[in-house]
Structure 1
Amino acid sequence: MSAASLSSFLFTMSDLLRETFIGGILNIVSKGKLCPYPDQQPGFRAPEHYYQEWQAAHPDAIDPYGHRPSTSSTTSDATAINPNTGSATATKRGIAGEKGPTPDQKTDGRVEEPTQSTDTDTEKGWDPNLVTWYGPDDPENPRNWSSAKKAFVTSQLCLLTFSVYIGSSIYTAGIVDLTMQFGVSITAATLGLTLFVIGYGVGPMFLSPLSEVPALGRMRIYIITLAIFVCIQVPTALCDNLGALLPLRFVAGFIGSPCLATGGASIADIYIPRKRAYAIGIWGISAVCGPVLGPLLGGFAADAEDWRWTIWILLWLSGGTLAFLIFCLPETSGANILHKRARRLRKLTGNENLKTEGEIEQAHMSVKEAALMTLVRPFILMLTEPIVFFLNLYIALVYGLLYLWFEAFPIVYIVDHGFNGGQEGLAFLGIFVGALIGYLFFCIYCYFYLEKQFEQDGMYIVPEKRLLPAFAGGILLPISIFWFGWTSSSSIPWIVPTIGSAFFGMGTFILFQAVLNYLGDAYPRYGASVLAGNDFFRSGLGAAFPLFARAMFNNLGGPGGVAWGSTLVALLSVVMIPIPWVLWKYGARIRKYSKYAD
């Protein structure tokens, strides 16, 4: 490795570590000497207009970093044209190649900003005390990270999501053993799955909005909640009765939920909309891996030991993930990154009026408004917006079917085909393989069709154009369910229903990608509330279906009941097929009558 390559690598690692949990602690404890930001390094000079108020009050003073502020624009390093007034304005460069902040930019740094304020600037709404990005190429803006860094961060979000999501289905492998140890019914033992799923459905309604608070950001929420999630697994594995186990399962689902609802927002922080679908798709695969691979890992563990080992595996997996993320997961929230920048610049310039957009918004938000955003708005959108309601219902049904299958697979593969618990878990790989194939076709669709539909340099798309894959996904679901149900008997090789389940994985993945991206584009101002409500809705059905699934299959004829039970469910999914077609044609018209949609 050449000296230049080594230097670039070390700079990248230092840059990555600075925004991580451990890097933030080191920076605070060392007062900026370790993992320093550019504005904490010798020779840095903030844009001139940030100093103006401090200069007026302290004309002869030296700032906290040893700089004597200049009162004349002739000391500027360069001259730039003020985009608001057309006049020449001074520009100070704090880092080689960086430009001063920009007046019209929000969080993506698209427009240049003058470095000194004028009366005309103030009249046109530019605030010289507004802390934004240092131009469109600001390296601290997550949208400007290198492709390698974006891929590394995305992989960590996938690992985090998988480590929590697997906590639901890994438990199912030990249900039979748990019933014998605690002397409870199958339905009672299944409550451990139900309460976990309810927990991560309710949790985002309270925890995910915290990641939108500029002072907190996303990374801290991930790390703190994952640490509590890891700790909860210890008493869960040591429980001696169901009364102690069930509350712990609910709390684990609740506290582990932020990554399940906010992971997509973190990906949106670092990718422009035109490229976001590829990364969201990978993240979606990791979400599928959790429920699908849980029975596989848990099945072998429960067969070898007992139900407690399913929880110990969850502890080791989530604990290892926590240790890795503490050192490697950076902050992705632009609002939080700018919040910390503003705090440092206030110290550097002495100008206490320096604020970010996020800080200004939070300062004007009352407790009532915060509660409305967090608790009430998701329900208002879910119940009053027809688009949100019907798509939530559709996704919730599909999600419920996935968990319903957790109860059908033991009947098909253990009772009919004589598999043990671990072998039964291998049968779930059909769904996983189907999801991978679905992702491949989804990427082809995005590359050759979807990207060409974007406007404004890849920043905007007509939401209904997102729905095209949902047509295929909706048709694949009933095909898969009919196939699986009517080929599940012992007279038919086990591979046949497994292939049928692959079409379910394919259809589910494609449908989820189309619908969730559509909701985010149709309600961009309230995306967090819409997606939190969707998570709540689908988790409710996902939690309820396993409670009656086994009784349904048995009451419809024992092992053969899988065929008739699948028929019932498939017919229900057929009824839902027209929903994306209707929205494709009339969605834009419906959105015109909504005060929430764009």
Structure 2
Amino acid sequence: MADIFHDTLFAYALRSVVGTRTLTHPEEKDPSSWPEMVHTEKKQDVNVEVRARDDVETIMGSADPRPSTPAQSTHSSHTQIATPEGAKDAEQANEAILVDWYGPDDPANPQNWSRRKKLWVLFLTCLWTFTMYIGSSIYTAGIQDVSRVFHVSQVAATVGLTLFVLGYGIGPMFLSPLSEIPQVGRMPIYIITCALFTVLQVPTALATNYGMLMAFRFITGFVGSPILATGGATIADMYAPKKRAYGIAIWGLFAVSAPVMGPLVGGFAAHAKGWRWTIWELLWLSGFTLVVLFFFYPETSPSNILYRRAARLRRLTRNPRIQAQSEIDAAHMSAREVATMMLVRPFTLNFTEPIVLILNLYIALIYALLYCWFESFPIVFGEIYHWPEQLVGLAFLGVLVGCFVVIPPFFAYLYYYQEPQYNERGELKPEERMPSAIVGAFFIPICLFWFGWSARTSISWIMPIIGSSFFSIGGVLLFNSVLNYLTDAYPLYAASVLAGNDLMRSSFGAAFPLFAGAMYRNLGVGWASSLLGFLSCVFIPIPILLYRYGERIRMASKRARHDI
């Protein structure tokens, strides 16, 4: 149990009150043993100039080791550490003793956590992701009531969905890179943004006019957004590439199922109590998520864990030369360089890397089609099949079932086909992620054509619901493949690349619902769905071409990985 509490915000707060005698770390339990816990052979001149680089971000995540001085004996190293003021010369005084993992089995390394702890952290990551994503679609159940209460058109009421989605698309571009700063880490960003998201639901639910409601919908989407982009990086912190796809698949399952559950969860509340109760439901869910994260969500960023370990060792030894590599890297960066890394990098990667741009556009299209297509459900099941308003949300269960149907065969594919392709270093060419994306690409148009032409009074309502399940099958396969591809191809910039992906898909997802209702009414359900289906067909060649030519494109990139 203590292992779960370690490195949580609750643990930080508790230790600040009662001191270090609770939830102690190994070096605190036995202060005399700390020299054996430091890799004293790893040293670096803290005054060394930062090596030449193409851009700032290669500093902050580089896996390349810094030039090190020849290893010295353990005894001499310990002597130098204990009495830094008695150093023999200036060169010794400038040497930084680097703090690293205590060994290949260091339990503090997220890669070495037990399977149970990893699954717990994965579940909490998915819970916070689910809470954010359901916040978009739960509002749709009350759109008609928003239109009635504030005397606006239904399109204007739909802007509440658009602004929320736009907010969580823009937010990660500014907030997610904060999690890459070693002094900050991922956990504080998640919990602080969850707290803001929860608190801001109150003025949202109590909005007295249309403008106030729209403003807070955007703000809540913005402040809660980092988990949507950085969740994949959190999973990569814990799982080696060989197992990461399983974690990303589960994360993707929650990401796809949350928008599906929104109309179902909010439909009954909106029908009985009005639109405000959809926001109160979101407040209850986000409040529960906040409490669980506060007590049970640990830090997963390796650079932050090592940074805090170095700080503890400095406090124990009063030796300022004990440092983490991230501290040395950050010391050579100006405020301008840090700002560039945080604010510019996600945009430059998104629009200057061909692979990133084309995959982000594809996922953005799928996301836009999803939100656009969802607007047809009230028309199909409310007007064609004459379901009561509060029951229309049940029609989304077909999409939810598809999410769970695809996971077992996909995991079997990963285990029996993809895992044997990893090399001896546990690495896989990013292009080998594409076969599942190729399969998933065909399920999207199949769903849209099936749904569009089976939605008629002469055909049972079960047929369009069955057809709707194919979208989630294709969505899960595409979501998983693309996010793993981007993480594999750009490992040093995972958070920034995923933030750019979130911006693209959210921007498209925000715009399409505004004209979806008019499109379905003017073209009819069959032809409107077919139009979306034909559009999805245009993008089918993308994963096929990346599978065949992606390695050549990746090798031509300055930022993509070249060693696999």
How far residue 374 of structure 1 moved from its aligned partner, in angstroms, is 2.1
Aligned partners of 2:291 and 2:38: how far apart in 1?
Answer: 39
Aligned partners of 2:312 and 2:503: how far apart in 1?
Answer: 38
Could you state the TM-score of these two structures normalised by the residue count of structure 2?
0.89
How far residue 433 of structure 1 moved from its aligned partner, in angstroms, is 1.2
Aligned to 2:530: 567
Q: Deviations over 1:214-261 (max 9, x none)?
A: 111111111111011000001111112111000100000000101111
Aligned partners of 2:428 and 2:37: how far apart in 1?
Answer: 36
Alpha-carbon contact 2:373-2:529 (below 8 Å) kept: no
SS at match of 2:34: coil
Alpha-carbon contact 2:257-2:399 (below 8 Å) kept: no
RMSD between aligned residues? 2.3
Are positions 1:502 and 2:465 aligned together? no
List aligned pairs for 1:165-180, cutoff 5 A. 165-180=133-148
Q: Deviations over 1:83-141 (max 9, x none)?
A: 99799746999xxxxxxxxxxxxxxxxxxxxxxxxx9xx99xx9661111111111111
Q: Deviations over 1:507-557 (max 9, x none)?
A: 11101111111111112222222211111011000000000000111122x
Alpha-carbon contact 2:260-2:399 (below 8 Å) kept: yes
Alpha-carbon contact 1:172-1:406 (below 8 Å) kept: no
Are positions 1:205 and 2:173 aligned together? yes
Aligned to 2:361: 393
Aligned to 1:578: 541
Q: How many residues align?
A: 523
Aligned partners of 1:563 and 1:462: how far apart in 2?
Answer: 41
List aligned pairs for 1:138-537, cutoff 5 A. 138-458=106-426, 460-537=427-504
Relative contact order higher in (CA < 8 Å, ≥ 6 apart): 2
Are positions 1:45 and 2:12 aligned together? no
Aligned to 2:555: 592
After superposition, the Cα gap between the structure-2 partners of 1:415 and 1:91, relative to the gap in structure 1 and judged at 3 Å, is farther
Alpha-carbon contact 1:414-1:424 (below 8 Å) kept: yes
Alpha-carbon contact 2:39-2:102 (below 8 Å) kept: no
After superposition, the Cα gap between the structure-2 partners of 1:142 and 1:157, relative to the gap in structure 1 and judged at 3 Å, is same
How far residue 44 of structure 1 moved from its aligned partner, in angstroms, is 4.6
Structure 1, 301-310 or 363-372: larger mean CA deviation: 363-372
SS at match of 2:257: helix
Q: Quick one: which amino acid aligns to residue 567 of structure 1?
A: S
Which ranges in structure 2 are unaligned for 5 or more consecutive residues? 41-67, 79-87
Are positions 1:26 and 2:14 aligned together? yes
How far residue 370 of structure 1 moved from its aligned partner, in angstroms, is 2.0
Aligned partners of 1:136 and 1:437: how far apart in 2?
Answer: 38
SS at match of 1:178: helix
How far residue 43 of structure 1 moved from its aligned partner, in angstroms, is 5.0
Q: Quick one: which amino acid aligns to residue 533 of structure 1?
A: G
SS at match of 1:493: coil
SS at match of 1:580: helix
How far residue 279 of structure 1 moved from its aligned partner, in angstroms, is 1.1
Aligned to 2:517: 550
Alpha-carbon contact 1:383-1:389 (below 8 Å) kept: yes
Aligned partners of 2:76 and 2:127: how far apart in 1?
Answer: 43
How far residue 421 of structure 1 moved from its aligned partner, in angstroms, is 3.2
SS at match of 1:130: strand
Aligned partners of 2:374 and 2:211: how far apart in 1?
Answer: 23
Aligned partners of 2:162 and 2:39: how far apart in 1?
Answer: 57
Could you state the TM-score of these two structures normalised by the residue count of structure 1?
0.84
Aligned partners of 2:8 and 2:71: how far apart in 1?
Answer: 41
How far residue 450 of structure 1 moved from its aligned partner, in angstroms, is 1.1
After superposition, the Cα gap between the structure-2 partners of 1:359 and 1:411, relative to the gap in structure 1 and judged at 3 Å, is same
